[in-house]
């Protein structure tokens, strides 16, 4: 058993460094593809091993690979001028922010940055194991991503937990048009997620689609980030078997995601994942009332 745990943590180290090497968001997108593939395999009668052990395994699980990429980026953003000894290279990465989860940190050619990613891959595994064994009524992976994001902000960030907002900028958009539009598209995602979840009896299919859809952002096209909405909607669909409650939770997740984004992840120098905060909050509510 001791060797098994040692191997598991070594694999988590590799997963965290892997996330840093390619960028947390890139690995998250690939995870989305694997979720769809794993769901297809399960629906075809091939079992859920690929879904559970590859898509959500130590290489691609968000609480390991995405966490590794996020914390490594925050670390490099804080220590960039120290870690990059060549002046021209420092200038070439001058626009890099510790909140950047897209840029592959391979570009930085720095072992210590990838090592930090690996260490936090192991931290992610330890935390998700702890939260799971505590039987908390919420998503342990989301709670882990949120917790490590807070740690990264406090340790490596300089902008504070809430960021540094310009005095002339409004933190929240409470205009009727924005509220109506947000409600509408959140409800649409909830309806679609309900249909897919109830037909497949797999609550993460649309979550996989949402993760994979982020690849569109790499081409400069503006689409909503939706994985927190589709995951919570899928969970609500299978928990309550009620489309109206699913729509309610989908809309709640949409607004919470916006709130957490503007509160904790705007004008900052590290990434504190608004989606993870939303999933943790909404899954807790579902867990308490189910």
Q: Is residue 257 part of a domain?
A: yes
- Is residue 135 in some structural domain? yes
- Within a domain: 2: no
pLDDT above 90 as % of the chain: 85
Residues 6+ apart with CB under 8 A from 151: 71, 123
CA 282-266-213 angle, to 5 degrees, is: 60
Residue 169's pLDDT band (boundaries 50, 70, 90)?
confident
Nearest to 206 by CA among 188, 222, 223, 194: 194
The tokens for 148 are 């490590």
CB 113, CB 23: distance < 8 Å = no
Residue 58 belongs to a domain: yes
The count of other CB atoms within 10 Å of the CB of residue 150 is 17
CA 123, CA 155: separation in Å to the nearest integer? 15
- The answer to the question of residue 1 being in a domain is no
Nearest to 67 by CA among 32, 15, 132: 15
For residue 141, pLDDT over 50 is answered with: yes
Q: Does a structural domain hold residue 263?
A: yes
Q: Residue 77 is part of which domain span?
A: 9-289
| Helices marked H in 175-226 | 176-200, 205-213
Q: Coil, helix or strand for 122? A: helix
- pLDDT tens digit sequence for 275-290: 999 999 999 999 999 8
Count up the domains in the chain and report the number: 1
Tokens representing residue 94 in the block: 């001058």
pLDDT, tens digit (0-9, with 9 covering 90-100), for 81-115: 555 555 545 555 556 889 999 999 999 999 999 99
CA atoms within 13 A on the CB side of 216: 12
User: How sure is the predictor about 65, in pLDDT bands with cuts at 50, 70 and 90?
Assistant: very high
User: Is residue 208 one of the residues assigned to a domain?
Assistant: yes
Query: pLDDT tens across 225-265, in order?
Result: 999 999 999 999 999 999 999 999 999 999 999 999 999 99
- Taking the CA of residue 47 as centre, how many other CA atoms within 13 Å lie in the half-sphere pointing to its CB? 5
Band (1; pLDDT cuts 50, 70, 90): very low
Residue 199 burial (CB < 10 Å; 0-12/13-18/19+)? exposed
Contacts of residue 4, Cβ cutoff 8 Å, sequence gap at least 6: none
For residues 158 and 15, the model is more confident at: 15
Q: Tell me if 250 is assigned to some domain.
A: yes
Residue 172 has pLDDT above 70, yes or no: yes
């Amino acid at each position: 058993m001791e060797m098994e745990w040692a191997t598991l943590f070594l694999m988590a180290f590799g997963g965290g460094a892997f996330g840093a090497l390619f960028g947390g968001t890139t690995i998250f997108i690939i995870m989305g593809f694997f979720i769809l593939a794993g769901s297809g395999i399960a629906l075809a009668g091939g079992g859920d091993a690929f879904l559970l052990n590859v898509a959500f395994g130590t290489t691609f699980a968000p609480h390991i690979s995405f966490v590794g990429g996020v914390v490594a980026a925050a670390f490099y953003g804080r220590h960039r001028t120290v870690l990059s000894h060549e002046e021209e290279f420092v200038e070439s990465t001058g626009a890099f922010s510790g909140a950047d989860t897209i840029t592959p940190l391979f570009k930085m050619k720095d072992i210590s940055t990838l090592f930090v990613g690996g260490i936090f891959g192991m931290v992610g595994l330890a935390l998700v194991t702890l939260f799971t064994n505590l039987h908390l009524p919420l998503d342990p992976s989301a709670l882990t991503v949120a917790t490590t994001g807070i740690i990264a902000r406090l340790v490596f960030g300089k902008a504070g937990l809430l960021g540094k907002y310009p005095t002339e900028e409004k933190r929240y958009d409470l205009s009727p048009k924005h509220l109506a539009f947000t409600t509408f598209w959140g409800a649409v995602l909830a309806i679609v997620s309900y249909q897919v979840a109830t037909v497949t009896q797999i609550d993460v299919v649309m979550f996989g689609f949402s993760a994979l859809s982020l690849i569109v952002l790499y081409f400069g096209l503006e689409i909503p980030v939706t994985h927190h909405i589709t995951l919570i909607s899928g969970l609500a669909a299978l928990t309550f078997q009620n489309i109206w409650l699913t729509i309610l939770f989908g809309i709640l997740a949409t607004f919470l995601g916006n709130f957490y984004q503007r509160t904790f992840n705007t004008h900052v120098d590290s990434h504190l994942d608004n989606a993870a905060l939303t999933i943790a909050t909404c899954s807790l509510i579902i867990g308490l009332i189910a």
